[in-house]
Each structure stands twice: as C-alpha cells, then as structure tokens.
Structure 1
Amino acid sequence: MSMIRVMLVDDHAAMRDGIRAFLSEHPSIQIVGEAENGHQTLKRVTDLIPDILIMDIGMPELNGIEATRQLRKLDPKIKVIALTQHADAPSIKAMFDAGAKGYVQKTASLRDVQSAILTVHAGQTFLTPWVTQMLAQGDTTSEQLTDETSAPAPQILTSRERHILQLLAEGLANKQIATVLSMSIKTVETHRTHLMNKLGIHNVASLTRYAIRHGITEL
C-alpha cells in the first residue's frame, strides 16, 4: 500500500508537533514536511509533493484561504484540509470556495484529522458534525454579516487585494507591504485604493475589523 504524503501548515510549532506525533503512528500516513505560513507552503510544495495538506487559516503574511486558492492553481492534485480555530460559516464557505476538500475545527480530536486525511485521499469530502451544522446555517449567517457591516464579502476582491488587506490589517505600512510583495509602493497604493473602494471602507481600523470578522487575519 502506498503511503499518503501529508504536509502540515500552521504558525504554531507546538500544534504541528502534536499533529505530527499522532499521525506518524498511522501505517499509511507519512509526514513529508511542514510550513508556518502560506508563503512557505507555496515555496515548499513543489519539492515535497504532498498528497494532502493540513492547512490552518489564521496565519501571518498569507492566510490559509489565500494559500489554498493559490495552491489549487499551482498544483490542483494536492488536496487541502482546513484545521483551524475558525468555526464560523463565512470562514468555512470561504475555505471551500478556495478549493479545500475537508474542514476540521481545532477543538475536534486528532482522530478526526486522521479520518479527514483518509476520507479526502479516497476522493470524498470530510466535514465534522459541527462544520456540517454551521454550513447548514451559513446562508443566513452570511446575509446577516453582510447587512451588519454594509460591506460585500471578500470574494469581490482579487487575490492580490485580499493579500494586501491581510497585511494592512496586520499593521504593515505601504512601504513594508511593497517589500513583502516585491512591488512598488505606488502599486501597493493602487491596490489599496481599489480594495477600499470595492468594500466601501476607507480607514485601516475598519479594514482590520472587517479582515478579522471574515477570517482573513486573526489579531
């Protein structure tokens, strides 16, 4: 039987250590590598070639939703399972829209993570009962959230705009963002203006609250 190659992505080393220790005991699962944020993930998957990627959502620099979206373009054969503390309907829907095949909240047992790997590797989707319940309530929750903020969902933004939104919410200035993304300050300013106009939000404090509410960052 061929081994299922798994990569762990989480910004907390202790979390990765615990997951690796548990999963390594399964005879069909091989942990081939780790990363602590979305940027590292996209750089390492080409060499590691995992079958399954266990992805946190709330990570600095590039969150799990954006990393999943970019990963699906880079190598659609890799299947992503979200393992996160975000258990709200907007985050769940955003992760599946990005291309995830499974979703497990961090309050679930590690046996659920193991089951998710085996299920997704077999070509099926895996949801814990709690996630299923949240998705069933998702349409109403999303509508209420949009009405409350008077701002559209993050899907209206381009991938680059969502990334800049995350960095702005994490407190980076335009010059710092330009360095992180290897672009000019003027280009950053243009993207920033576009995303603010699309969302109808024109100050960083409100952008930060929006980003936290939609699982783009966690502060």
Structure 2
Amino acid sequence: MSKLTKIRIAVTDDHALFRRGLVSLLSHNDDFEVVLEASNGQELIDNIPQLLPNIVLMDLNMPVVDGIRATERIKKDFPKVKIIVISMHDEDKFVSHLMSLGANGYLLKDAHPDEVENAIYTVFNEDYYYGPFLVKVMHNRMINKPEKKAENLLSLQVGISDRELEVLEHICQGTTTQQIAEMLCLSARTVEGHRNRIMEKTGTKNVAGLVAWAVRNGVC
C-alpha cells in the first residue's frame, strides 16, 4: 500500500497505557498512519473534521462522551468514518446493539495483534469485519431465538427475494463480496446491488448494521 493510500486511524481510549500501546503496535505497520489519539468520545468528535480518519478504534467506557454515544454521533455526522469497537464487554445483546448503531467491527481487548490489523484492513476494504468472536455472538443469537426465524422468513417474502436472502445469509457468515459472487456465480457488482437493495428494505446504513438487523430478527 503506497503512502497515498495509507489508512488513517484514530485511537480513542481513556486508559493511556492501553491507548499508547495500541498506537505503538500500529506504528510498526507502514500501511497505517495514526492521526489522532483521544481520551474520550468528545475529543474524538471535535477532531474528526480536521484530521479525517478513515477508521476509529474506540473503547466504550470513557468519560465525557462514551463509546456508545460517540458511535451514534459519528455515524450521523460523519457516515464515511468507520468504527471498530475494542472493548472488554462480551455480552451478546450489548454487542448486537453496538452493531445496530453502525459499528463496522467489534473486537475484545484480549484480541491478538494480528487480528486487530486484519480487522483494520478488512473494514477499510470491505466495510465490515466479523471475526470469530462476532460469529460466536451471531450463533448464540440464532440458538436463543429459533422461533423468530420462521416468522421472519414469512415477512421477508413480502420485500426480500430468495436471492437477496441467500446473499444476506452469506454476508452474515462474514463472506466477502467477491467470495459471494464466486459461490453464487454472479458478478461482484450484482452482489453489491443485492446488498444495497436489502439495506434499503431493512432501513440499515451499512453492512454492519444490516448483519445486526439480521441477527436481531433471527434471519441469520
């Protein structure tokens, strides 16, 4: 990746030791440029217009403005900025709520450094990242709400086609656009078209929100 296409990153965490450790880790990758360190959500929001990060790595428990409220405001005011939450919280409902707000990825603070880098690349290129932890969350939601799936499929027949549903199920599994295209013998552009129409029908703003909607409603 050339200097012209470096991924601009903001790191937001009120614990200076963790924040600076993460910045140090990222600084060893020539593809990354850390343009902002913030200790709370308000500091992050105030500096986004000037520093224009592509991706925010953000904690949730912070003073002044926490990660939840910061996610809501960023997705409203700066929709092109992508957010990867890095948190200690691992409750299924909590994680699903963050994804429904538009977070593009969710990592636990004990994630391996390689996974953090992989998540950044994936979110930058594909818009969303669903690693082993999020796959487990979605699996748990499926098991705990099996009765909703049949009910929801009936409602989907009104607005979402069988092909769109098939694409949605692959998206929920973390499959990339190109991989879906190859599996379904479609072009990548056709898959993107299906994905965009599903988002329109479900009222979601990005793929992360779409998957959160699917999990919440028992579709995936």
Same-fold call, TM cutoff 0.5: yes
In the aligned structure 1, how far is the partner of 2:6 from the partner of 2:57?
Answer: 16
1:135 is aligned to 138
In the aligned structure 1, how far is the partner of 2:55 from the partner of 2:24?
Answer: 17
Report whether the alignment pairs 1:43 with 2:46: yes
In the aligned structure 1, how far is the partner of 2:83 from the partner of 2:28?
Answer: 21
In the aligned structure 2, how far is the partner of 1:141 from the partner of 1:62?
Answer: 32
Identity %: 31
- Structure 2 SS opposite 1:137: helix
1:63 is aligned to 66
8 A Cα contact 2:122 2:128, kept in partner: yes
Q: CA deviation at 1:58?
A: 1.5
Q: CA deviation at 1:37?
A: 1.1
Task: Give 1:13-28 correspondences, 5 Å limit.
Answer: 13-28=16-31
Report whether the alignment pairs 1:4 with 2:2: no
In the aligned structure 1, how far is the partner of 2:50 from the partner of 2:41?
Answer: 15
Counterpart residue type for residue 41 of structure 1 = L
In the aligned structure 2, how far is the partner of 1:111 from the partner of 1:80?
Answer: 18
Unaligned runs of 5+ in 2: 146-220
8 A Cα contact 1:79 1:101, kept in partner: yes
8 A Cα contact 1:58 1:64, kept in partner: yes
Counterpart residue type for residue 44 of structure 2 = T
Distance 1:134 1:5, change over 3 A: same
In the aligned structure 2, how far is the partner of 1:19 from the partner of 1:135?
Answer: 27
Partner deviation per Cα, 1:16-47 (whole Å, 9 max, x = no partner): 11111111111110000111111111111111
Report whether the alignment pairs 1:73 with 2:67: no
Report whether the alignment pairs 1:32 with 2:51: no
Indicate which of 122, 125, 133 corresponds to 2:128: 125
2:99 is aligned to 96
- Structure 1 SS opposite 2:126: coil
State the aligned residue count. Answer: 142
In the aligned structure 2, how far is the partner of 1:15 from the partner of 1:5?
Answer: 19
Q: CA deviation at 1:97?
A: 1.2
8 A Cα contact 2:36 2:51, kept in partner: yes
Counterpart residue type for residue 43 of structure 2 = Q
Distance 1:90 1:3, change over 3 A: same
Unaligned runs of 5+ in 1: 143-219
Counterpart residue type for residue 113 of structure 2 = L
Q: CA deviation at 1:140?
A: 6.7
8 A Cα contact 2:82 2:127, kept in partner: no
Name the TM-score, length of structure 1 as normaliser: 0.61
In the aligned structure 2, how far is the partner of 1:87 from the partner of 1:25?
Answer: 28
Q: Which moved more, 1:6-15 or 1:121-130?
A: 121-130
1:85 is aligned to 88
In the aligned structure 2, how far is the partner of 1:134 from the partner of 1:107?
Answer: 16
In the aligned structure 1, how far is the partner of 2:73 from the partner of 2:121?
Answer: 24
